[in-house]
C-alpha cells in the first residue's frame, strides 16, 4: 500500500510540474490553471510540494502567484486566478466551488465582464449560478 501511495504522490508531482510548464508557456491557460488548483486541493502534501516548487528562484511567473501561498483554498485560488486572468470560465468554476454567496456577489460585481468578447454571455451564466446556488436568503444580484 505504501508503494502505491508513493507512486501516486510521484505521479501527482510530475503532473503538477507539467501543468506549471504549460502555464509558464501560456498553453491552455484556463485548463491548466484549473487543473493545478484541483490537484493542489486534492492533497495537503501535493499543495505543499507545489508551493515549495514555485518558491524556487527560477519560477517567478505572476500567473502562478496564488499557488505559492499554500494557505489558500481551492475556491480562493480560482477566484484570484479568475480575476487576474479576467477568465470567465475560471470565474464560473469559482462560483461552483465557493459557498459564501456574499463573497461571490462581491466578485461578480467587480468582474470585468465588458472586457470579454465572444458569443457566450458569461454575465448571464454567472448571474444564473448565483441565483441557483445561494447559501443564504438574501441574494441581491439583479438583472
According to DSSP H, which parts of the chain are helical?
Answer: 2-24, 29-42, 44-54, 65-68, 74-85, 88-97, 101-110, 122-132
Residue with cell 487543473: 35
Note down pLDDT in tens along the chain; length 143 residues. Answer: 678 889 999 999 999 999 999 999 999 999 999 999 999 999 999 999 999 999 876 677 888 989 999 999 999 999 999 999 999 999 999 999 988 888 999 999 999 998 888 888 999 999 998 887 655 433 344 33
| Distance in angstroms (rounded) separating the CA atoms of residues 67 and 73 | 10
| Distance in angstroms (rounded) separating the CA atoms of residues 135 and 124 | 19
**Predicted structure pTM score:** 0.84
* Residue pair 53/17 in contact by the 8 Å Cβ criterion: yes
Amino acid at each position: 500500500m505504501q508503494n502505491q501511495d508513493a507512486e501516486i504522490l510521484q505521479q501527482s508531482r510530475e503532473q503538477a510540474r507539467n501543468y506549471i510548464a504549460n502555464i509558464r508557456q501560456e498553453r491552455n491557460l484556463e485548463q491548466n490553471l484549473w487543473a493545478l488548483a484541483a490537484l493542489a486541493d486534492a492533497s495537503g502534501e501535493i499543495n505543499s510540494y507545489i508551493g515549495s516548487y514555485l518558491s524556487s528562484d527560477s519560477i517567478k511567473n505572476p500567473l502562478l502567484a496564488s499557488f505559492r501561498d499554500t494557505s489558500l483554498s481551492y475556491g480562493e485560488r480560482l477566484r484570484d486566478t479568475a480575476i487576474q486572468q479576467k477568465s470567465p470560465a475560471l470565474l464560473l468554476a469559482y462560483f461552483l466551488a465557493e459557498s459564501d454567496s456574499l463573497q461571490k456577489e462581491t466578485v461578480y460585481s467587480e468582474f470585468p465582464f465588458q472586457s470579454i468578447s465572444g458569443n457566450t454571455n458569461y454575465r448571464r451564466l454567472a448571474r444564473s449560478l448565483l441565483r441557483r446556488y445561494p447559501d443564504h436568503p438574501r441574494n441581491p444580484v439583479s438583472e
